């Protein structure tokens, strides 16, 4: 009986366990450690994206919604991106094509602060989501990577932008 109840409970909860989320991560490195700042609070027409038509996502991210899991790091991240003057970071999909079985090629336009750059990004289909990765640089956006303690601790110029977008089946 206990096994039957446990099985029913897992069956009922499985849609929640597999819930799809949209997320953008900015991963970086210092000369001492790594950091990950995540934003799961997108504004768009819906929470799932369908990239099969002409209406491609334009993801608007509020800089204030990024969380680096460390209060000081989150504060420094928002200050570096000048969140008071530039409250949003946007990622606009310009082109999206299926390349192979579970691979897709996209052209995205990233606007951070007052600078807009276009990048080619490869996405992979994983568990009803599309996951894409692109290496950027602070300097691409005319941003000086932050330093602490008189330059003894510094953030490296390279950033990894990771997209996870929930897809409709």
Q: Could you tell me the domains of the chain?
A: 22-166 (2.40.128.110)
Q: Are 151 and 31 in contact (CB under 8 A)?
A: no
pLDDT at 5: 30
Q: What is the rounded distance in angstroms from the CA atom of residue 166 to the CA atom of residue 149?
A: 40
Average pLDDT over residues 6-17: 32
The CB-side HSE value for 107 (13 A sphere, CA atoms) comes to: 5
Q: What is the rounded distance in angstroms from the CA atom of residue 65 to the CA atom of residue 127?
A: 25
- 70-111 pLDDT, tens digit per residue, is 898 899 999 999 999 999 999 888 888 888 888 989 999 999
Predicted structure pTM score:
0.76
Sign of CA dihedral 64, 158, 154, 37: positive
Confidence of residue 121 (pLDDT cuts 50, 70, 90): very high
């Amino acid at each position: 009986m206990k096994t039957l109840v446990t099985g029913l409970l897992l069956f009922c909860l499985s849609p929640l366990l597999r819930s799809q989320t949209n997320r953008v991560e900015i991963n970086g490195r210092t000369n001492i450690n790594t950091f990950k700042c995540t934003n799961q609070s997108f504004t768009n027409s819906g929470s799932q994206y369908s990239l099969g038509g002409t209406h491609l996502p334009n993801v608007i991210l509020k800089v204030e919604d990024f969380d680096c899991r460390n209060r000081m790091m989150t504060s420094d991240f928002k200050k570096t991106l000048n969140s008071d003057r530039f409250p949003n970071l946007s990622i606009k999909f310009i082109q999206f094509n299926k390349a192979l079985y579970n691979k897709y090629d996209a052209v995205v336009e990233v606007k951070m602060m007052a600078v807009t750059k276009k990048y080619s990004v490869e996405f992979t289909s994983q568990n009803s989501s599309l996951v894409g990765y692109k290496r950027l640089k602070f300097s691409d956006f005319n941003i000086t990577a932050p330093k602490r303690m008189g330059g003894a601790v510094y953030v490296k110029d390279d950033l990894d932008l990771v997209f996870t977008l929930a897809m409709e089946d």
